Amino acid sequence: MSLAASDPAPPALREEGLAAWRQFHLEAMARMSELAGALDSQGWPGVERACRWAREAFQRHHPWEEQRLFPLLAQAGAEPLREQLRLEHREMDDLAGAVLDGGPAADPGPPARRLLDLVRQHLDTELHRMLPLIQGREPGETSGAGAGYLSPPRSALRRSGRAGRWHPATWGQPRA
């Protein structure tokens, strides 16, 4: 089945659906930047705040993706990618819960850092592999219908100033 631009857009791919999806991902990257800063400063309140947000937000967001976007991956013949993303959703849920359940005495660093890395990698995969596939484009393709939709305006692009850390405004941009 083709999901090319000439096909009617499934409800999940309509502008309002993608706008909400994009907004959530930008918020997730901002929260992961906060988590990175809290981990760097060893500040439990910031780690707890970011992981609590992640657990609660993921419980709402992941089912939406799995119900609305994952069937489109199956239609595009990308079952392995769908399964990878589904497993990553479960791992993110588990990691956020592990940090919160363990508290500061349980050394939240390792699971929180894994959560941070996984969320960043997962969002990049959704942007560069999942979205093009469900829009009828080749993975990694940066042109075509909707390709620039998830890119922030050039004026918003900037580095966070920390090595290896990316400001939410640079999410989805090629890493130098």
pLDDT tens-place string over residues 149-175: 444 433 333 333 333 333 333 333 344
Report d(CA 14, CA 17) in Å as an integer: 5
Tell whether pTM > 0.75: no
- What pLDDT is attached to residue 14? 64
Task: Answer yes or no: CATH 1.20.120 is held by domain 14-141.
Answer: yes
pLDDT in tens, 49-78: 999 999 999 999 999 999 999 999 999 999
User: What amino acid occupies position 113?
Assistant: R
SS3 66: helix
Report d(CA 56, CA 97) in Å as an integer: 10
pLDDT in tens, 7-16: 445 665 666 6
- Is the backbone of residue 133 left (phi > 0), alpha (psi -120 to 50) or beta? alpha
**DSSP assignment of 84-134:** HHHHHHHHHHHHHHHHHHHTGGG--HHHHHHHHHHHHHHHHHIIIIIHHHH
pLDDT in tens, 86-116: 999 999 999 999 999 998 888 899 999 999 9
